[in-house]
Structure 1
Amino acid sequence: MAPTLRTVVRRPPLGLSVLTGHDALERPVRWVAVSELEDPTPFLEGGELVLTTGMRLDAATAGPYVERLVARGVAGLGFGVGLGHETIPAELVAAAARTGLPLLEVPRETPFVAIGKAVSDLLAAEQYEEITRAFAAQGRLTRAALGPEGAHAVIDRLARELGGWAVLLDEAGAVRHAAGRGAEAAGALAPELDRLRGRAGRGGGSPASLAFSTPAEHVVVQPLGARRVKGFFAAGRGTPFSPVEHTVVNAAGSLLTLALEHGREHASAERGIRAAVLRLLLAGEVEAGREALERLGERLPGGPLAVLAAGGDPGAALEAAGEEFAVADGDRVVVVVPAARADAVAEALAGAGPAETGGGAGSGVAGRALSGAAGPVGVGGPVEPEELSAGLDQADRALASARSGAHAVVRFADLAGQGLLALLDPGAAAAFSAALLAPLREYGSRADLVESLRAYLACNGHWDAAAQRLGVHRHTLRYRMRRAAELLGRDLDDPAARAELWVALSV
């Protein structure tokens, strides 16, 4: 902020006296302009302390001269006496008093250049103080970012530095954290967020910040993300931001972006490490897996374990798994949890509701509602760490049943009551059935061979019972079965052949 006229007047070496405009001495002085022109206003920007000896001023021109200066918005007028005028003309004093323009008397012994140097020194000192304040604020923001609360602490600190409010938003515009009245103000930011997204869509990359004002407050909105928009933050207050405060806001944006990117990279690295450990465990390298975990300061949960196989969106399933041992593998995500929490984690993975709170290592799912990961989930039975591979096989079989059935979560133990077909992979079983029965379906127009075979096997090879079920003569059925045996190349009296055919017909 520029020094005020009062600060300049109080510089003892200058010896300035205030004749008019005592109530306007808080005006900022942005520069000093020396001019003897009758109308210097074309060369002024406003906010200057104009210095003159009045060489071109007289009683007739004094009033219009002051009015032009006031219209231009100068900070004040300094009149040097002892050169063109021994005293300040009364007409000039009257015009300044009438318009409220601060009029300063500059003694003969004070050179105008001394006033210019004094104002320049004050401006430099003010700029230095602003830079110092900016560095101090950035230091406080940095310390906040390094604390346990990270981005949330930066938002809190920013609101205090500005004396206003601040809010952190996710990519969709939902509030992640707010300070002051940030949560309330966030509701009005939707159009601005859309505008920033539009800029990104037209130009590519991350859009620039956006500032706007209302009669009640001034607001700055910035996107977060190094390569693409991954969130937003906004800050506002009732008065305009100074250049220093804009610098502080920009520093907060950089820290929030770093925190966001580092947090994602850290989470990705942790998932990669857990995935590697999980692969060791599934391969039977339990001791190697335990050793890797110990070096990371973690350990495998004690007691029986359960393996879960989650379908649906892999990203959502990994997020739902939280800090559990999870890895995306093919078209499903494999998760290992303590057997006691298998049901709760499975429900969370399926998007059916929050996982219940649980203790022990890797309980990251606990206590969070994890919707959005909706998809089928297969749960393997309790196994020891050395048996995780078998647990994964069970989980995959249960997942296959979940994908083809009406239940989002299927446990391997439940498959025993669903018959042999529940243990088969639906895709493989369908392909097997189509290939085995194809000769019967392609046999001319005699599509009744399939149903005849089904009735024959259902009646356990009893001709009369099967013929009665079909409504045909038993000799007709015998003929059909001889023809089916020839087409299939199988002995229908062989129990193994009968079993395969029955499975194919059931599928």
Structure 2
Amino acid sequence: MVVAPTLRTVVRRLPLKLGVLAGHDALDRRVRWVAVSELEDPTPFLEGGELVLTTGMRLDAGNAGPYVARLVDRKVTGLGFGIGLGHEEIPAELVEAAAEAGLPLIEVPRDTPFVAISKLVSDLIAAEQYDEISRAFAAQGRLTRAALRPEGAAAVIDRLAHELGGWAVLLDEAGAVRHAAGEGAADVTGLMPELGRLRRPAGRGAPASLALSTPGRHVVVQPLGARRVRGFFAVGLGRPFTPVAHTVVNAAGSLLTLAIEHGREHLSAERRIRSAVLRLLLAGQAEAGKETLELLGEALPPGPLVVLAAGGDPEAVFEAVGEGFAAADADRVVVVVAAARAEDTVSALREHGPVGVGAPVDAGDLRAGLDQADRALASARRNAERVMRFPDLAGQGLLSLLDPEAAEAFSSALLAPLREYGSRADLLESLRAYLACNGHWDAAAQRLGVHRHTLRYRMRRVAELLGRDLDDPAARAELWIALAVTG
């Protein structure tokens, strides 16, 4: 609602030559409109806040008091009485009744037409409207300039708090404070239960905004995001929000949504470039990868490098990397850091999920470094470890480098003919003893408690069933791994 002019402003306009006969203390009331009526009871046609103009055609000493009482009950702003037509002067009874009721009573001379008063009030209201629109546009311009600053959304929040003379807070999707400005901005815990109502999908009862009011505290909360809620912002004042304030808040909401959506699109494009750079580096095209990375204003760290494979939430990993190159790939984030900073980076990343750490490599050997980091990450995931370093895998044996499911499938397929050969389960145990004794017949036979000729017969059957040459070292290695996986 537009802030209407006061009755004092109307009276002071010299061309109107208006005089105040009663209600001097109430001249700061707002005049929301002018109503001309000669009815004895005009109140059914009034809304309140009007300046009622009359020539008193139906007013006399007997009904002046009730007439004033009805106007007061209707909360009109004031009564203008035109003299020189029905009355040469305002009846004393009307002046007395208005004074007792505190209703401003204004004398309108004969040469001041009622329409001149109506036009004046209309012009003043129009001027207030124009002023409100001008102030709103000016504030929107300042908010827009703030949105173009490097700080983006944070700058908009700062400007919004300054424009309204209150506080403003930017919240993430979970309701955590990302940026706050203005006195009282830190106390937003009471807003948390309300955010759930704003998280509902559009069209399913989700309000466009929430207004919360308590004595001395008025808050507006709006969700941010074009297609889904990506955050919230809240604005608080110690007084009710004016129309201009609501306009400024809505403008800020649009700018913040644009900033968030644009930022996400920019971030998505940047990460796609990083993934392309990673593919170039892994393909051995280090120079092309470095040139592309320079377009982002970045560069690979100098000196020996360490490749990390981080299995935590990508968003959290990217924020925790700090100095170094990071790119999302498959089910992990690949991080390349200078060897001197590897441990600091590992400490930051381990808080967000398992981390595999490769050995130091040169820029041209990043493929080998990533293979090591991936093997270490796989081991960390299997063993519920936060950090696993590739050099440490050597102490865990070759099997620690294998994928458990793939190794189990390989073992089952390779040894299936021996398990399916009637009930001769002794073939598996004989093969295990033969391989454990490095193919020495006497030692293996003694371990099994059988004659060496019996063992030779069994090994011939094993070779026939598996189609493998047991004198071939490669075949022996595969069979030993298969037996080790089955336990």
Shift of 1:478: 4.6
> Structure 1 stretches of 5 or more lacking a match?
352-370
Residue number in structure 1 paired with 2:290: 290
Shift of 1:56: 0.7
Q: Which stretch has the larger CA shift, 32-41 or 427-436?
A: 427-436
Q: Which amino acid aligns with 2:18?
A: L
Distance in structure 2 (CA, Å) of the matches to 1:201 and 1:101: 49
Distance in structure 2 (CA, Å) of the matches to 1:323 and 1:107: 82
Q: Which stretch has the larger CA shift, 423-432 or 234-243?
A: 423-432
Residue number in structure 2 paired with 1:438: 416
Instruction: Give TM-score scaled by structure 2 length.
Output: 0.92
Distance in structure 1 (CA, Å) of the matches to 2:331 and 2:155: 39
Q: Which amino acid aligns with 2:157?
A: I
Residue number in structure 2 paired with 1:356: none
Whether contact under 8 Å (2:197, 2:207) holds in the other structure is no
Residue number in structure 1 paired with 2:480: 502
Whether contact under 8 Å (2:310, 2:334) holds in the other structure is yes
Shift of 1:44: 0.8
Distance in structure 2 (CA, Å) of the matches to 1:299 and 1:134: 45
Distance in structure 1 (CA, Å) of the matches to 2:29 and 2:440: 112
1:378 aligns with 2:380: no
Residue number in structure 1 paired with 2:277: 277
Distance in structure 1 (CA, Å) of the matches to 2:181 and 2:316: 29
Residue number in structure 2 paired with 1:242: 242
Distance in structure 2 (CA, Å) of the matches to 1:335 and 1:213: 49
Residue number in structure 2 paired with 1:78: 80
Whether contact under 8 Å (1:400, 1:426) holds in the other structure is no
User: Is the alpha carbon distance of 1:122 and 1:323 closer, same or farther for their aligned partners in structure 2, counting shifts above 3 Å?
Assistant: farther
Shift of 1:433: 1.7
Shift of 1:169: 1.0
Residue number in structure 2 paired with 1:155: 157
Shift of 1:331: 3.0
Residue number in structure 1 paired with 2:327: 327
Residue number in structure 1 paired with 2:375: 397
Q: Which stretch has the larger CA shift, 404-413 or 110-119?
A: 404-413
Residue number in structure 1 paired with 2:434: 456
User: Is the alpha carbon distance of 1:199 and 1:420 closer, same or farther for their aligned partners in structure 2, counting shifts above 3 Å?
Assistant: closer
Number of residue pairs matched? 483
Q: Which amino acid aligns with 1:247?
A: T
Distance in structure 2 (CA, Å) of the matches to 1:247 and 1:215: 23
Whether contact under 8 Å (2:324, 2:338) holds in the other structure is no
Residue number in structure 2 paired with 1:211: 211
Q: Secondary structure at the match of 1:176?
A: strand
Q: Which amino acid aligns with 2:421?
A: Y
Instruction: Give CA-to-partner distance per residue, 1:37-78, whole Å, 9 cap, x none.
Output: 111111111111110011011112111111111111111111
Shift of 1:493: 3.8
Whether contact under 8 Å (1:225, 1:261) holds in the other structure is yes
Shift of 1:489: 2.4
Q: Which stretch has the larger CA shift, 273-282 or 99-108?
A: 273-282
Identity %: 80
Q: Which amino acid aligns with 1:272?
A: R
Residue number in structure 1 paired with 2:18: 16
Whether contact under 8 Å (1:199, 1:207) holds in the other structure is no
Instruction: Give TM-score scaled by structure 1 length.
Output: 0.89
Residue number in structure 1 paired with 2:60: 58
Distance in structure 2 (CA, Å) of the matches to 1:101 and 1:199: 52
Whether contact under 8 Å (2:309, 2:356) holds in the other structure is yes
Whether contact under 8 Å (2:175, 2:192) holds in the other structure is yes
- The Cα RMSD (Å) is 2.3
Whether contact under 8 Å (1:347, 1:409) holds in the other structure is no
Q: Which amino acid aligns with 1:281?
A: L
Distance in structure 2 (CA, Å) of the matches to 1:133 and 1:479: 101
Distance in structure 2 (CA, Å) of the matches to 1:429 and 1:199: 46
Residue number in structure 2 paired with 1:43: 45
Q: Which amino acid aligns with 1:268?
A: S
Distance in structure 2 (CA, Å) of the matches to 1:425 and 1:190: 44
1:34 aligns with 2:36: yes
Residue number in structure 1 paired with 2:198: 196
Whether contact under 8 Å (1:275, 1:325) holds in the other structure is no
User: Is the alpha carbon distance of 1:43 and 1:250 closer, same or farther for their aligned partners in structure 2, counting shifts above 3 Å?
Assistant: same
Aligned partner (choices 176, 179, 193) of residue 177 of structure 1: 179
Residue number in structure 1 paired with 2:225: 225
Distance in structure 2 (CA, Å) of the matches to 1:489 and 1:296: 57
User: Is the alpha carbon distance of 1:183 and 1:34 closer, same or farther for their aligned partners in structure 2, counting shifts above 3 Å?
Assistant: same
Instruction: Give CA-to-partner distance per residue, 1:220-264, whole Å, 9 cap, x none.
Output: 111111111111111122211111111011111111111111221
User: Is the alpha carbon distance of 1:298 and 1:406 closer, same or farther for their aligned partners in structure 2, counting shifts above 3 Å?
Assistant: closer
> Structure 2 stretches of 5 or more lacking a match?
none
Counterparts of 1:471-490 in structure 2, within 5 Å, are 477-490=455-468
Whether contact under 8 Å (2:275, 2:329) holds in the other structure is no
Distance in structure 1 (CA, Å) of the matches to 2:80 and 2:160: 41
Distance in structure 2 (CA, Å) of the matches to 1:178 and 1:467: 79
Q: Which stretch has the larger CA shift, 389-398 or 470-479?
A: 470-479
Aligned partner (choices 9, 16, 19) of residue 7 of structure 1: 9
1:346 aligns with 2:324: no
Whether contact under 8 Å (1:166, 1:236) holds in the other structure is yes
1:262 aligns with 2:262: yes
Whether contact under 8 Å (2:201, 2:228) holds in the other structure is no
Q: Which stretch has the larger CA shift, 41-50 or 459-468?
A: 459-468
Shift of 1:92: 1.0
Q: Which amino acid aligns with 1:57?
A: L
Residue number in structure 2 paired with 1:355: none
Residue number in structure 2 paired with 1:387: 365
Instruction: Give CA-to-partner distance per residue, 1:277-328, whole Å, 9 cap, x none.
Output: 2222211112222222334433322111222223355555445446743333
Q: Secondary structure at the match of 2:204?
A: helix
Distance in structure 2 (CA, Å) of the matches to 1:477 and 1:398: 40
Distance in structure 1 (CA, Å) of the matches to 2:184 and 2:406: 56
User: Is the alpha carbon distance of 1:453 and 1:386 closer, same or farther for their aligned partners in structure 2, counting shifts above 3 Å?
Assistant: same
Shift of 1:80: 0.7
Q: Which amino acid aligns with 1:483?
A: R
Aligned partner (choices 107, 114, 118) of residue 109 of structure 2: 107
Residue number in structure 1 paired with 2:96: 94
Distance in structure 2 (CA, Å) of the matches to 1:201 and 1:458: 70
Q: Which stretch has the larger CA shift, 424-433 or 463-472?
A: 463-472
Q: Which stretch has the larger CA shift, 95-104 or 290-299?
A: 290-299
Distance in structure 2 (CA, Å) of the matches to 1:133 and 1:464: 101
Shift of 1:476: 5.2
